[in-house]
Structure 1
């Protein structure tokens, strides 16, 4: 805890002096001022305290909050540390108007994260979650990391980190998925102002083209090894007169798409294609609902769904008609893996001679 009461005024532990009495702004109990050459100055409750603010914080977390305050105050002069919102029983790390900043270093359960975000939303507060470097080091496939993913027009899907020890912001942006691989770009910033300026500047999309043959062989391998998700999807395709290994090539392509929908990377696109084949025409809202996902708090699922539908429209498979979408031509399914690979080789050969 970085803030305490002294003579009815809030004081930052960095400027507090020992031998004086300080109280917690939440429970009004006496707290201890801790200072030292190797630690971030902070206040701590006595062991017996059951105050909601008596949460164990690492030195790195405390250091990160102090850095954020010094950096963000240049952009938001009225920003405050650890303002307790009594009606929500929540204490954001930093708060200014309807904007809160949370520096998340330690693990947090899905339920607790949801409670905090929804609590802020009930007060029309937009919560910005900046992750610690333990999250940065994790594999991008990990849901514990990707659940914090956000979307911004200029940089696409992104995650924001703070290296408190180096006083640097790390931005992973243009995050997308090809098959089972997640790709992203990384940029480092020395201050928040540079970060915001970058995020407000449109960045060029440079998505890698997928290796269609490798992706096709990967699906074949997983079906042969009875991968649970692939076998389930194989059954869905078979019920509609298709083989999964012969799925349309368009499902492989990288689009500006959230890398995880808590579904197999192939499943949600094939579900959309099967739905369109069966219905021929439907409401856009039906397709958004088809790929509905409730675990992501910071993005709306219709963004990736709409991106995929626009790709289908560009390839003249579908047409948008107001709030409806209509199938224009049949999707190309293949007999099996070998038939599909043959088609891919012909396609690549044609592109070679056209270039």
Structure 2
């Protein structure tokens, strides 16, 4: 019996979609499986951030800079419904101590290829007219952008030409007598393939276990508040300086820092919170109140705006804050592209291009070694 696909991708979020897109462009036949709808997990709960401003120099920033270029290219190819906006980001500090930290951070980033401009406190309102008047200053990052993540995932899948099978959980990853992948099993039967890509996001650890592999992915819950539709009162993605420290933290405890951005449709999105509480989706009113208070401290105009809804999502967290991208160290034919935490939307195209090159023996677009899934086995 022949093989049904060169590659089976498990996960129809934005990372799985980008991997399918670039793998298909590299000449592979691709089938994408998901137990739910397109963007039904972390992608659908995301704000659509495409950021370089929050990343210190290192492998993740290199991945983000490549993705920034690739998203610009994709925005020219994909329909305008992905709502790509190269609007830039603005990171602000409440005092001079915070400004000094931002200045050092921006200087290190600049050496790695990130553009930024220091904005004194008295000029912040040139960028954001509704900002609080007493901030010390900030940095403008012109490379930051935003898009509509669920639409982007759907359009990448459509453009890939991959066969899409939704509402079909994978119940087993099948291996041969040598322990190498030979296919997957779902409720509808078996699908034969020699290559399976685990792009299951927060559930990436569970998918790995289906093949007898281990990947220490954990869920990290976050909430987003959505306001009523407004005129464009927030022009950029705006966040407080302590957001960078929260992103880099490995703490399981609750952390919140103000992140505010407008959308083409009108609502303002307010985040960000982080906590490791398993897959508990319980809506926390105290957390939402903290987010609202921090947002109105940045933008007093929001104090009189109605919050229409709040929702929770789970970021796929790995202990060293780098995604796992590459071959499983134990199971031949099993590949991983998950664990991007809150940056998966921004990092998706570079992840997809890197995976396609690795799958086909091409030249990787950057050093893949820091992302190798085998690093967790070595640390065990």
- With normalisation by structure 2, the TM-score equals 0.19
Higher relative contact order (CA 8 A, sep 6+): 2
Bigger CA radius of gyration: 1
